[in-house]
Amino acid sequence: MCCVLGLFTELLKRLTKPSGHLIPSMSLLQISEPDVPVSPRLPRAAVGIDLGTTHSLVATVRKRRAEVLVDAQERALLPSVVRYLDAENHKEVGYAALVGAMQDPANTIFSVKRLMGRGRPEKIHAAHAALQWVDMPGMAHIDTVAGVKNPVEVSADILLALRARAEAYFAQQNFTAQATEQMSARLPAVITVPAYFDEPQRQATQDAARLAGLDVLRLLNEPTAAAIAYGLENRMQGCYAVYDLGGGTFDLSVLKYARGVFEVLATGGDSALGGDDVDHLLFDYLMEHIASQEPAFTAPLNAKDQRRVLNEVRRVKEALSEVDEAHFDVTLSTGQHISCPLQIATFARLINPLIQRTLQLTQQVLRDAGLKKTDIDEVLLVGGATRMRVLREAVGAFFHKPPLTHIDPEQIVAIGAAMQADLLVGNRPLSDASQEAGEAASSADNWLLLDVLPLTLGVETFGGLVEKIIPRNTTLPAARSQEFTTFKDGQTGMVIHVVQGERELVKDCRSLGRFELQGIPPMAAGLARIRVTYQVDADGLLYVSAREQRSGVQASITVKSSYGLSDEAVYSMLEESFAAASSDMHTRALREQQIEAERFLEITDAALAENADLLNDAERAQVQASLQALRALKDGTDRDALAAALKAAEQATEAFAERCLTQNVRQALDSKKHTDAKT
């Protein structure tokens, strides 16, 4: 052993001896005593996140299996809803925010994904009707009780809730000490975005992730993530059409999977088309129907009633995936009661224009990929909106084959993202160790992902025209260069205007940024040679540089739209979030306790109203006293006292609950006997 160590030491000396030459990189071998097993490298914690319009999810790979992480109530979906509570920036996220949405719509933000990387919308969507908008340059700004918020900050709050769920899971699983150390800094994550998200929208997503303390390994297109999950699970090869209709976006991607390589052939879609638009159509239909049937009906609705009706609309939409007729049934704050039926045929007629828009985009993507419908081996449905029965039937008829639906369409994107994250952090078991453990080799151990650019990138030339540098559907990462020259004699500077879009005029495309190239040597027009280079990384983020070839002067820009946040702004918000972290955790726990108390009081009050005769006077007085004590603490800030009061109330009503259950069982049996006797 000493001899081996001596040789190893001498080798290190030679490698580190100054020689003026570069030394090729070498793999260092681990040296150990004979018969001493080598400890395998501990797996790294990493997650995949589906940041959705209506719901978001987080998943991870544990023991080579991808799983979606759930909350304490075993719920996988986190509603993408944030409610701001006060000027101290206390907030609720997810189900807790939903509870108070109808009472506080102006401070409850839904469907924030529609606003990512965008200014204030000209046409206000129903989900945003109650918000108070602030006229500020750049990204959309919303006035709340906690101050002015933008979509990046709201999305960061959603991502923070998902990160907390992941951290709780890793701690419970006792993942590794290394994983715990990572989470104290930044948790590695792959975050999915719609394939048709442009540069500002992708950059806004990056900003939100940074603000939430995530290390973004990659931004992954949602259809691609779905194909990863389907392809690896079923070991299928061939061409896929991934039809992804979420709450606020539609994407169609055509991918080819063969020999462990995913290649995106073409992608297209609409970043402002989704299940929310179906809700809006049903909302308008319901208002028109009631106005025609009830002359006394008053419109428009206030913000609270709009939220009530939208909730009912979603319930009816979901019901029509199972039945042929559902009923709207909601009472407004004015006391007016809205009730009307909706047949599946009427529902299909209402949403058919939206479905046809998606199929027109689908046809365009197939043309871009150079394929026919018959070339598609499988059609994958992704996104919660694809649960609609009429949509599944329409997609099946378009492709002349039933789509795949055996993986939950709301979870598949997060699963694929988790697989990609696991690959990027290097969690691949040693082949020898796998063989010894008796594990079969998996195609998941070795695969490559080739994504594409969703929209064309170009530069403005004289006359407001667009010179296209990297066309859409180019495989990523990509780099392209093109030479330009000066227009005037003696010109010493040039403005490089970067745009994105498919149109020929700059005014019809989206401006991504400008930078100046100064110091060009004076010369006659047309003699200067300016080489402009566009580089797009695997996340779809753009870097542009310009260099005058004769003099060597150059300039560059990392494209960050004015809709994004500066590094200083992100850093400032990070500091604020860190300072408020402890307070936010306390507020969240208190609010969860309050919600539990509210639900308990509501259920118990209803039971007393129906079965008060099951208690004698003394028992009734004891129950009422416990409920009164709970009500007195429900809106306070003492979480421990509230928990104690809730426990006392549960104990005081335990006997009453048992009697109610016994009576319900007895009534059900009596009803059955009566029915049998009639028969």
Token pair 């151990």 is at which residue?
445
The question of whether 368 is a catalytic residue gets the answer no
Helices (H), 57-150: 95-99
DSSP 117: T
Q: Which helix or strand (DSSP H or E) is residue 482 part of?
A: strand 478-484
Q: Is the peptide bond preceding residue 40 cis, with omega within 30 degrees of 0?
A: no
- Name the catalytic one among 153, 244, 460, 548: 244
Residue 504 has which token pair?
A: 């020929």
Other Cβ atoms within 10 Å of 665 Cβ, number: 10
From CA 283, how far away is CA 288, in angstroms rounded? 9
Question: Which residues does 473 contact at the CB level (< 8 Å), separation at least 6?
Answer: 264, 265, 266, 267, 368, 369, 452, 453, 454
The answer to whether 233 touches 407, Cβ cutoff 8 Å, is yes
Other Cβ atoms within 10 Å of 380 Cβ, number: 24
Token pair 């409920």 is at which residue?
627
* CA dihedral for 44, 50, 56, 57, sign (positive or negative): negative
- Name the catalytic one among 91, 92, 104, 113: 113
Q: Which helix or strand (DSSP H or E) is residue 499 part of?
A: strand 493-500
> Interior CA angle at 140 toward 135 and 144, to 5°?
75
| Coil vs helix vs strand at 226 | helix
Q: Per this entry, what is the length of the chain?
A: 679
From CA 602, how far away is CA 615, in angstroms rounded? 18
Residue 302 sits at φ, ψ, to 5 deg, of: -75, 175
CA dihedral 199, 205, 206, 210 (to 10 degrees): 160
Q: Which helix or strand (DSSP H or E) is residue 362 part of?
A: helix 344-369
The answer to whether 106 touches 144, Cβ cutoff 8 Å, is yes
The question of whether 613 is a catalytic residue gets the answer no
**β-strands 448-450, 530-536: how paired?**
unpaired
The question of whether 244 is a catalytic residue gets the answer yes
- Name the catalytic one among 92, 222, 451, 539: 222
Residue type (1 letter), 149 = K
The answer to whether 303 touches 286, Cβ cutoff 8 Å, is no
The question of whether 222 is a catalytic residue gets the answer yes
CA dihedral 311, 316, 322, 327 (to 10 degrees): 140
From CA 593, how far away is CA 120, in angstroms rounded? 36
Other Cβ atoms within 10 Å of 511 Cβ, number: 16
Catalytic residues: 50, 113, 222, 244
